[in-house]
Amino acid sequence: MITTYKAAPDIDVLTSSFPIPGFGLVPINAFVLHGPEPLLVDTGAVIEREEFMTALRSVLDPADLKWIWLTHTDFDHIGALPALLAENTELRIITTFLGVGIMSLTAPLPMDRVHLLNPGQKITRRRPHTHRRQTTRIRQPFDNRLPRRQVRGALQLRLLRGTPVSSARERG
């Protein structure tokens, strides 16, 4: 069950959790940052796609969204992405080079709608009353994927050369 609450006057949180039997719950959160250019941070879990869209509509019309920020491309962050892109043809996606690469393996992103924002880079969005809000992409404190240092360079090189990603993984 997805619930919503206001974290601040211009920020709504869409939250749920997924049970891992014997271990507890995995929290799943998405954030709507309201303003002249509304931004959605992550798009919920794949298995909750329809419920996520209903919860999102309770705080914002998806047609009003200008940006989606994919913090990373795990299945608990990309659930409603295809539905949102289909429903809103003006919607732009903020993600990393690695995010584009991973999404390309299953559901390629429309590159004309992608804004790459890698760790340390910033994007500035307008806020109400002409204030500006800077958003900075930071590296996650941990990652459950393969060691980035070894894989990132190989994946980037393989993607740029058009070599299948599986051959990069085979070499480790």
- 111, pLDDT greater than 90: yes
Q: What is the dihedral of CA 52, 58, 63, 67, to 10 degrees?
A: -60
Q: For residue 29, list its beta bridge partners.
A: 15
Structural contact between residues 102 and 75, judged by C-beta atoms closer than 8 angstroms: no
**Number of Cα atoms under 13 Å in the Cβ half of residue 172:** 0
* DSSP structural state of residue 122: E
Please, what is the Cα angle at 52 between 44 and 9, to 5 degrees? 85
Per-residue buried b or exposed e for 105-119, using 16+ beta carbons within 10 Å of the residue's own CB: eeeebeeeebeebee
**pLDDT-above-90 percentage for the chain:** 52
Structural contact between residues 69 and 41, judged by C-beta atoms closer than 8 angstroms: yes
159: pLDDT confidence band, cut at 50, 70 and 90? very low
- Residue limits of CATH 3.60.15.10 in the chain: 3-141
**pLDDT-above-70 percentage for the chain:** 72
Give the chain's mean pLDDT: 79
Could you give the C-alpha distances from 98 to 16, 67, 72, 140, in angstroms and in order? Answer: 26, 19, 9, 13
Q: What is the pLDDT of residues 45-77, one digit of tens each?
A: 999 999 999 999 999 999 999 999 998 888 889
- 145, pLDDT greater than 70: no
What is the reported pTM? 0.73
136: pLDDT confidence band, cut at 50, 70 and 90? low
User: What CATH fold (topology level) applies to the domain 3-141?
Assistant: Metallo-beta-lactamase; Chain A (3.60.15)
pLDDT at 134: 53
